[in-house]
Structure 1
Amino acid sequence: MILSEFYIIFTMQKVIKGQAITDHLAENPKEDDYQPLHTYFPDKEVLFIGTMEDMNEKCSELRLFFDGASNSFGADIGAVLVSPEGKHYPGSAKLRFPCPNNMAEYEACIFGLKMALEMEVKDFLVFSDSDLLVHQTLKEWITRDSKILPYHCSLLVLANKFRSLEFWHIPHVRNVFADALATLSSMIQHPNELIIEPIQIHLQEKPAHCLVVEKSPDGRSWYSDIKKFFKTGSYPLGTDTTAKSFLEKP
């Protein structure tokens, strides 16, 4: 009642845009007790443990790449062994039990190490985009998770069966082959009786439309008439006047 003598109109408060707040803070800096903002981005500067020169020098050895994927389709793992000559030996598996991402990475690593044992490999390098797994395996980080600890112990026991084994951390973009294997396995339904044949990838050097051009039944190439026309000026049998007039145009 006290304010009834005043002419007051109520208006809804408008939303303040984030850019307006930013401009206001920029124009009115607070100098007292200023502390710079320190942001930490893991692996922003260090993409893997070591240098690119060291990695290139060690490419003369066999390498193992692996990756695990846990999504709505389930948990799946993939690993690929790459020989010094560039030959790839891929493998993938579908996990039929609950398995978070970190556990899937350990499953993929153990899966790849078992592949190396079957191939009787003694010395090779292991590359992973899992920062957690690499540091825990190198004993730089302590493994406290009760679910991860059995995997960690199993991996170390398996690693001792090799003569020389090194773990390197790489960015995810350098681990696309193993990631594709894990993703492919997650997209395929696996009944108990289903047998999936090995996937063969062919290297195609020419477009598909060039590959369908074949020799004629009489053994002559498709351009033999054109070649003969440029050499002798004679037309193939059955050439009509329209085609002749077209060929005679300058």
Structure 2
Amino acid sequence: MAGRMMTWAIELSQYDLGYGPQHAIKAQAMADFLVEVTGNPTEDTDTWWKLHVDGASNQTFGGAGIILESPAGVIYEQSVKFEFPVSNNQAEYEALLGGLVLAQEVGAKRLEVCSDSQVVTSQVNGSYQARDSLLQKYLERVKELSKQFEEVTIQHVPRERNTRADLLSKLASTKPGISNRSLIQGITKEPAVALH
């Protein structure tokens, strides 16, 4: 065995080979992550992103749960705590607006939105009329943001099909952000829409 290695060492010495440690493991992990998140730029634009939103409110806190899934299966989750008083419908609209902004930031073009709020989905689809002046402003803002996409559909789903977004919104609306260190949670200090 030693004789064979010595023969190969002599044969290969003429090529001036050098050996060094491999440093690209961490950089390769980051490169793989970026490829997974951004996807293929030549990807078909007819693919739909799926957005699940839910808002929750109680006497002390309000919150939103947002789940955005890319056509490649990459999932973005957000739990947002509101530091202002909100009604339940206002929390649902805040969650929808937050989801639309997230989808716009990641470059989604076609969006299928699922919400368990019948009031919000029906107002956006036009089958219910928004009579409250604050909800009218929210509706205008949603329609304004929806124009940034090629196509947006919104549908009402039962709460059982929206459980993860519901859980994220309840976590944000019931627990202060500093006590739950395992959850990445955003904080919104002002509503997206105001009457004055």
Q: Fold conserved (TM > 0.5)?
A: yes
How far apart in 2 are the matches of 1:158 and 1:174?
25
Give the counterpart of 1:96 among 63, 80, 83: 83
Are residues 85 and 95 of structure 1, via their aligned partners in 2, closer, same or farther at CA, if it must alter by over 3 Å?
A: same
- What does 1:1-250 correspond to in 2, within 5 Å? 61-190=48-177
1:175 counterpart SS class: helix
- Which amino acid in structure 1 is aligned with residue 156 of structure 2? H
Structure 1, unmatched stretches of 5+, are: 1-59, 200-250
The 8 Å contact of residues 50 and 112 in structure 2, kept in 1 or not, is answered as: yes
Structure 2, unmatched stretches of 5+, are: 1-46, 185-196
The 8 Å contact of residues 55 and 91 in structure 2, kept in 1 or not, is answered as: yes
Task: Quote how far apart the aligned CAs of 1:133 are.
Answer: 0.8
1:148 counterpart SS class: helix
TM-score (norm 1): 0.52
Task: Quote how far apart the aligned CAs of 1:85 are.
Answer: 4.0
- Which amino acid in structure 2 is aligned with residue 143 of structure 1? A
Q: Write out the 4+ residue segments of structure 1 that deviate beyond 4 Å after TM superposition.
A: 194-199
- Which amino acid in structure 1 is aligned with residue 119 of structure 2? L
The 8 Å contact of residues 64 and 168 in structure 2, kept in 1 or not, is answered as: yes
Q: Which has the larger radius of gyration?
A: 1
Q: Which is strand-richer, 1 or 2?
A: 2
2:114 counterpart SS class: strand
How far apart in 1 are the matches of 2:181 and 2:107?
25
How far apart in 1 are the matches of 2:101 and 2:134?
21
Task: Select the structure with the greater relative contact order (CA < 8 A; seq sep ≥ 6).
Answer: 2
How far apart in 1 are the matches of 2:88 and 2:111?
25
Q: Which is helix-richer, 1 or 2?
A: 2
How far apart in 2 are the matches of 1:167 and 1:173?
17
Q: Deviations over 1:140-193 (max 9, x none)?
A: 2111111211111111101111111111111011000101111111233136xx
What fraction of aligned residue pairs are identical, expressed as a percent? 36
> What RMSD, in angstroms, separates the aligned Cα atoms of the two structures?
2.0
2:98 counterpart SS class: helix
2:80 counterpart SS class: strand
